[in-house]
Structures are given as C-alpha cells and as structure tokens.
Amino acid sequence: MPNILNMDPAGCRRCGTCCRKGGPALHGVDLALVRSGAIPLSCLYTIRPGEAVTDNVCGGVSVADGDIIKIKSKTDAAACVFLDAPGNSCRIYADRPLECREMACWDTDSIRRVYAWDRLDRGRIIEEFSSLAELVAIHEAECNMGFIARLIDLRKNGDTHAAADIAGRISYDADLRKQAVSAQPGVTGILDFLFGRPLCLIIPLQFGVPVRRSPIA
C-alpha cells in the first residue's frame, strides 16, 4: 500500500497539483536514495548544461549551467512517474527527495531556498572512472549543447556546413546510444539519465528546428 501524500494541517489538501507538474530535481542529500535503489536510475533523466529549463518555483525559462537530474514524468502526462492518481498517492513517500519534502504550495519560502542548492549531477552518481563515466564524457564532448546552440545560429543564417554538422551530431547521439546498449545491455533503461534526452527531441523543442528522428532500435 503506497503512502499518501502529506496532509499537513497548515494547508495541504492532498490535491496532487505539485506532483502533476512533473518530477522534482535531485540534490546532494538525495544521493543515498539513488544508491539504495529507492529512486532507480531508470526513473531519472538529465537536463544537460546548455539545455533550456523551466523554473517551476520562480517562473521563467533559463539555460542550465550544470546537470539537473530529475525524476521522469509519466509517458502520457506531465505528472511525476511515482504519482498514483487514484487518491493522489506517492509510491515513494517514505523515500521522497528533498524538493518533495520541502514543498508546501501555501508557503514556498522553503522550496525556494533549496531549489538551486547543491543539485545532484551525473558524476556524483556514477563512479568517476567507470565505463559509464567515460561514455558520458564522450557524449558531452560531441553533443555539447552550447556548441549546438552556436551551430543552430549559424544554420539560421544560411550556413549549410553548420546544418550538416548538426545532422551529424544528431546521428552521433543516436548511434552512441545504440552502441552503449549493444556493449552493456543493462543500460537500456537509463539512457536518458546517462545522455539526457535525445538530440532529435531537444533541438525541435528548444530551438524550433525540425529534425528527422532516429529512434533506437
């Protein structure tokens, strides 16, 4: 039986609104929850440096200056993957991360204080010299979002070489994911954590540039 969301007498009505806005970002204090398996890597994805990110607390859209590790949303809705809609139950309530523990929609001072504090990154979750860390470093070198943003600007100004470079990096991103799965089948469910969301999805969303998707087979 899942634990119900907090019914704090100060104001929580267990409406589930906060959970339906998406999963929280993880912080340093949440590392133990990941390492224990309470929050599996398969339930996480990475917003990489240079990606656009919406600030759900303060509002507005900014560019991430470092990794932001977030709990995934459901496949058919924005709601946190751990939300059980009937009764607005949280499946990991006893092991919920910092942002969930600090969230109080009637008084956001606490969540504002911790929102950008000590955010967890991929390097602290995977071992620095592991093969996974090497794959992440290789991917970042070739699919750096800051460099891709510059290529997008060049493409919009008619640079055909930039357009070809972007297409090449989209293909590289897709191919590296396939190679990672081929070499280590166990990573199949954690590609979005290791490499972030595929470039074929991010580029249209962030830059409004249509691309041909290359799904992983």
Residue-wise pLDDT for 185-216, tens only, equals: 999 999 999 999 999 999 999 998 887 654 44
DSSP β-bridge partners for residue 53: 62
Q: Could you tell me the pLDDT band of residue 167, with boundaries at 50, 70 and 90?
A: very high
Break the chain into its structural domains and give their ranges. 3-123, 126-207
pLDDT of residue 10: 56
Q: Look up residue 13 and give its DSSP letter.
A: -
Q: Look up residue 72 and give its DSSP letter.
A: P
pLDDT of residue 212: 65
pLDDT of residue 213: 56
Contact 40, 71 (CB under 8 A): no
Query: Does residue 71 surpass a pLDDT of 90?
Result: yes
Please give the average per-residue pLDDT across 70-76, as a whole number: 92
The token pair that represents 35 in the structure block: 């390492």
Residue-wise pLDDT for 88-112, tens only, equals: 889 999 999 999 998 887 777 888 8
